[in-house]
Amino acid sequence: MPPRPRPPSPPAPSTPRHNRDSVTESPGLSPASSARQKVQQNLLRTTSTRKKRVRKEPQPKVSTDSDKPDASVFYGSYGRKYARVGDIFNRIETIAELGIKYEVSGALAVADCDGDRHLLESWKILKDIIPGFSDDMVMLRKDKVTRNLVFAKINSGCNDVRSEDTNSLKVAGLSYLLKYKSDSIHPNIDKTNKSLRGWTHPQCAAALCPMELPATQETFANIEAGNIAVTADQFPRFLYPDGHVYDQSDVYSGLFRGHFCFRVAKHIFQGPSSAHEVPGWTRGKNGNAALAGVTSMSPRSIAYVAVQARFCISSGSQWGSWDKNFDYAKFYWNIVDIFEGGEGKDIISAFNYEVFGVSNPLSPTATPMSGPAQPSQFELLREQRAAKRARMATQLAALELEWNMQKEPSTTRSEGDPDVRSDSSSLCTLD
């Protein structure tokens, strides 16, 4: 007797795979749970964008809003924008933890020291960049695991864009140091070898040299040997125009007017192809600033440019906060504090002109003119045309009235009256 066939085993229950739509809000959740689900969904969307692309045959598809991934929810992309306008020397978790504490305590305007003040300003910038970030983080203040996942994504975006700017300037930045594009670096050095820059190269050393010191080979040698300390409390020469005569009694004169800083700013916020071009020039497409929604330079973006510019011509091969006695973080915050209390508006205008082509680019919410609203040129044109049509109508009505008044006597008088000329030549012609 043949053996009886075994019945097929039931299929094993499949484990649901996470995808961008796997996290949905459920009714009746607490605010903290809803915030957690929202953040987790954004984290899953971020993860889904890093999958390896698979080449497929092109297929016709009708595009809808739901088919397009919303890049605005990717925390990494927010980190890329934040690095250039926010803070590259403090970790996001440090900023957010202090920000959450002050949001909960209701004392956001109070800071115990400059460090806290800078962190709170960074927190405000983060809130402006990431929609709903403050509310989500406050709701998740007891969920450290989820918060740390978010912070890691933002930190990764910050590090990525900072590294990209550093590496691109490593190759192109030396040409920005020269006043004229036709000039050349002498002695010539390998653009990929940063150890040949810094105090050992005369042109790099001259740009790095503090303004109060003579830019001589003897000075450079003493700095390289450690006999003279260069710190973040000194202004390097590249911040000033080429050939600027330094006045100890007026250090602000010419500050941040150097061509090297302007070119580095255009490289970062518009693109490398814009660095040597006229102010505001881009190569037929939106620059980095437009893609990130940046419409104006700020104290922190200028400080970011100065830090990247100095690192570009230094001999340091690895990004870090220190270069011997020079503290990059302190240099960054020293520059930010120059603009404290609304000072330095002329510097911001100068950078706006170089990067965007206009001294005071308007943000979407800015008011074009102060005082009462003025009619636009288009509105003036419409008003003037309407007034012209009214004048023409008035003139036409007056001519018609005159015609009728001259025509009326010829029809009422007798035909035998010798003073009356009934022919048409007696009537006035209208122009």
CA-closest candidate to residue 306, choices 250, 240, 249: 240
Q: Show the DSSP H helices in 53-179 as ranges.
A: 75-85, 92-105, 114-129, 133-139, 144-177
Model pLDDT for residues 351-363, shown as the tens digit of each residue: 999 999 998 875 5
| Cα–Cα distance for residue pair 351/297, rounded to 1 Å | 7
Q: Which contacts of 282-285 are long-range, i.e. CB under 8 A and separated by 24 or more positions? A: none
Residue 91: its pLDDT value, please?
96
Element (H, E) at 360: none
117 alpha-carbon distance from chain centroid: 22
What integer best gives the mean pLDDT of the chain?
82
Taking only the tens place, the pLDDT of each residue in 189-222 is 888 899 999 999 999 999 999 999 999 999 999 9
Place of tokens 């009619």: 375
DSSP 252-312: TTTTT--HHHHHHHHHHHT-GGGTTSSTT--SSS--HHHHHT--S--HHHHHHHHHHHHHH
pLDDT in tens, 90-117: 999 999 999 999 898 876 555 667 778 9
pLDDT at 45: 63
